[in-house]
Amino acid sequence: MGRTVWIFGDQLTRLHTGLAAADKNQDVVFFAEPLATARERKYHKIKLVMLYSAMRHFAEDLQKTGWSVDYHLLAETETYAAALEKHLSRFASNEILAMEPNSWSESDLLRSLAKHFSLRLTTTPTWQFLVPRAEFAQFACGKKRLLMEHHYHATRVKFGILVDDAGRPEGGAWNFDSSNRKTLSDWKKDGSPLPPPSDRSPEDAIVRAVRSEVARHVPKAFGTAEKILPPVTRSQALKELDRFVKERLVHFGNYQDLMLADEAKMFHSLISAPLNLGLLDPLECVEAAVVAYEKGQAPLEAVEGFVRQIIGWREFVNGIYWLKMPAYVESNTLSATRDLPDFFYTGNTDMNCLRHVLAEVHTTGYNHHIQRLMVLGNFLLLAGISPQQAYAWFLEMYVDAYDWVMAANVLGMALHADGGFMATKPYAASGTYISKMGNYCSGCTYDPKIKVGAGACPYNLLYWDFFDRHAKRFAANPRTSMAVNAWRKRPSSDRDRIRHEAQAFLISLEEA
């Protein structure tokens, strides 16, 4: 009797440990595209088409190498339970063999279905992350607050990345973040460099079929998937990684925080979607960048910045997810309850920065990390939007978004909903930051230089209103006390006017 090798859609890795533990001659690989899951949120069509296309390509590759595959298509599959029942009616199996799922809900699903169908459940360690969950839990043990930098240093030493034999960092520093913050003004002084245009991944019969099926069976999915699609095969993903290392990495560090309305992706890698699907491995991405540095093709500052994204933040947010779930997604320390504005779906706002960033994600399913954090996340934080509604929106819109990605990034880092467990301060900023780091403010209805009154940038009003509402909490935080003290020193008439105008703006969101 063979086993059922269960592969979820975000586990399309050549290093799948479930497959490594299976017997190609006896076991059957199980895939499913349940309609109920596709319809549970208003997912972006690009995200669904990418996911199912990548799954079908991966399954086809397995079949070509001799695996027996039982694939349950979107049109014929209502739920995972129904798909598994059909599978068991065709194949004699008494065990599910699975690599550790990447989400809490999928882990719970496997346990529930194994029990329901009286199947033994065997899980193997994941190779999609470098740090095992138990190891991260040991790192976090006894700490009231975690710092990504501490974990990042230890991970670099463990894997020998940009360190010498004694474990000392290359270039004498662990972090070159201060060298990676060039502003719009700096970019212009440097001659306004731009990356070469990104090539679109070629389409094939699988992609075309999936696009048609998604349109037919998930009609309420968001947007369109007619023009833009991230890599859906390993070969396409490797080409994207190679293109980044050869063409964009050299300038990535300098301009990774820059935001341009007409060049939204700039020098970013664009590999997060295939990486989170498993089409790329984190270590191979890091090693490709390090090799470029060693060959003199990219500066240390840029390479370290990229390495920190992959084995710093990516590993850290995954560790927090498994440490804090399932309660973490209900975090709301700041008691934010305002509904998500409709314009997050329509894009109809007269705030130029928000309109451009939303248009980009609506069209492509992507924004880079500063657009997400300092335009979208910053607005959601300052406006007191429900963390759970914001979290759901990020899961729907982004091609690289999964529970483990967005829990700590949105609830912890962007919205400070976890009370500062993973970020020592809220990432709150006025319109000055957006003006300094991008060109959105040009031609906007509002002026970032105007703090109050006609034409005042809403970010300016909401910034001070935020620290007014949460003054008691943030006065005691060394990283935010200056802002609170500055607010308290303002004349009472100024504070009253800012409160009034901020509230009027927030009310307008509800009435729109």
CA distances for 42 relative to 219, 373, 393, angstroms: 10, 22, 8
| Residue whose C-alpha is closest to residue 289's, from 281, 297, 277 | 297
Question: Would you say residue 334 lies in a domain?
Answer: no
Question: What are 430's two structure tokens?
Answer: 């006025």
Q: Model confidence over 231-274: pLDDT tens digits?
A: 999 999 999 999 999 999 999 999 999 999 988 889 999 999 99
Question: What are 31's two structure tokens?
Answer: 């895939």
Q: Are residues 355 and 483 in the same domain?
A: yes
CATH number of the CATH domain containing 410: 1.10.579.10
Confidence of residue 512 (pLDDT cuts 50, 70, 90): low
Residues 6 or more apart whose CB falls under 8 angstroms from that of 411 comprise: 328, 329, 331, 387, 391, 417, 418
CB 495 within 8 A of CB 468: yes
Q: What is the mean pLDDT of residues 149-174?
A: 94
Segments forming the whole domain that contains residue 58 = 2-124
Q: Model confidence over 401-449: pLDDT tens digits?
A: 999 999 999 999 999 999 999 888 999 999 999 999 999 999 899 999 9
Residue 463 CB: number of other CB atoms within 10 A? 25
Question: Would you say residue 330 lies in a domain?
Answer: no
Question: Would you say residue 337 lies in a domain?
Answer: no
Residues 6 or more apart whose CB falls under 8 angstroms from that of 373 comprise: 413, 414, 427
CB 47 within 8 A of CB 399: yes
Q: Are residues 46 and 181 in the same domain?
A: no
CA distance 283 to 96: 28
Residues 6 or more apart whose CB falls under 8 angstroms from that of 386 comprise: 332, 336, 337, 338, 339, 340
Please work out, in degrees rounded to the nearest 5, the angle formed at the alpha carbon of residue 81 by the alpha carbons of 79 and 82: 70
Q: Are residues 246 and 300 in the same domain?
A: yes
Q: Are residues 468 and 376 in the same domain?
A: yes
DSSP bridge pairs for 5? 29, 97
Q: What is the mean pLDDT of residues 275-286?
A: 98
Q: Are residues 311 and 348 in the same domain?
A: no
What's the CA dihedral at 93, 98, 103, 106 to 10 degrees? 0
β-pair type (93-99, 68-72): unpaired
Q: Are residues 363 and 484 in the same domain?
A: yes
Q: What is the mean pLDDT of residues 461-478?
A: 95
CA distance 425 to 93: 51
What pLDDT was estimated at residue 15?
A: 94
What pLDDT was estimated at residue 411?
A: 97
Q: What is the mean pLDDT of residues 228-232?
A: 86
How many CA atoms within 13 Å lie on the side-chain side of 394? 30
Confidence of residue 495 (pLDDT cuts 50, 70, 90): very high
pLDDT score of 228 more than 80: no
Question: Would you say residue 329 lies in a domain?
Answer: no
CATH number of the CATH domain containing 58: 3.40.50.620
Last residue of one domain, picked from the residues 86, 104, 124: 124
DSSP bridge pairs for 278? none
Question: Would you say residue 188 lies in a domain?
Answer: yes
Q: Are residues 116 and 139 in the same domain?
A: no
Q: Are residues 143 and 12 in the same domain?
A: no
DSSP bridge pairs for 97? 5, 122
Residues 6 or more apart whose CB falls under 8 angstroms from that of 35 comprise: 74, 77, 78, 79, 217, 218
Question: What are 268's two structure tokens?
Answer: 């970013």
CA distance 42 to 346: 13
Average pLDDT taken over every residue of the chain: 95
Hey, what amino acid is at 385? I
CA distance 490 to 451: 13
Last residue of one domain, picked from the residues 97, 124, 151: 124
Q: Are residues 220 and 99 in the same domain?
A: no
Question: What are 184's two structure tokens?
Answer: 């719009």
Number of domains the chain contains: 3
Q: Model confidence over 105-149: pLDDT tens digits?
A: 999 999 999 999 999 999 999 999 999 999 999 999 988 888 899
Hey, what amino acid is at 61? D
What pLDDT was estimated at residue 178?
A: 79
Residue 350 CB: number of other CB atoms within 10 A? 11
Question: Would you say residue 44 lies in a domain?
Answer: yes
Q: Are residues 165 and 271 in the same domain?
A: yes
Residue 31 has phi, psi (to 5 degrees) of -125, 150
Q: Residue with structure tokens 């003199």?
A: 296
Distance in angstroms between the alpha carbons of the first and the last residue of the chain? 61
Question: Would you say residue 180 lies in a domain?
Answer: yes
Last residue of one domain, picked from the residues 124, 152, 171: 124
CB 420 within 8 A of CB 145: yes
CA distance 172 to 149: 15
Question: What are 362's two structure tokens?
Answer: 């609506």
Q: Model confidence over 343-361: pLDDT tens digits?
A: 999 999 999 999 999 999 9
Q: Are residues 288 and 234 in the same domain?
A: yes
Residue 164 CB: number of other CB atoms within 10 A? 9
CA distances for 141 relative to 134, 136, 311, 409, angstroms: 10, 9, 20, 21
CA distance 367 to 355: 13
CA distance 278 to 82: 26
CA distance 223 to 44: 6
Q: Are residues 365 and 476 in the same domain?
A: yes
CA distance 482 to 214: 51
Model-level pTM? 0.95
CATH number of the CATH domain containing 157: 1.25.40.80
Question: Would you say residue 273 lies in a domain?
Answer: yes
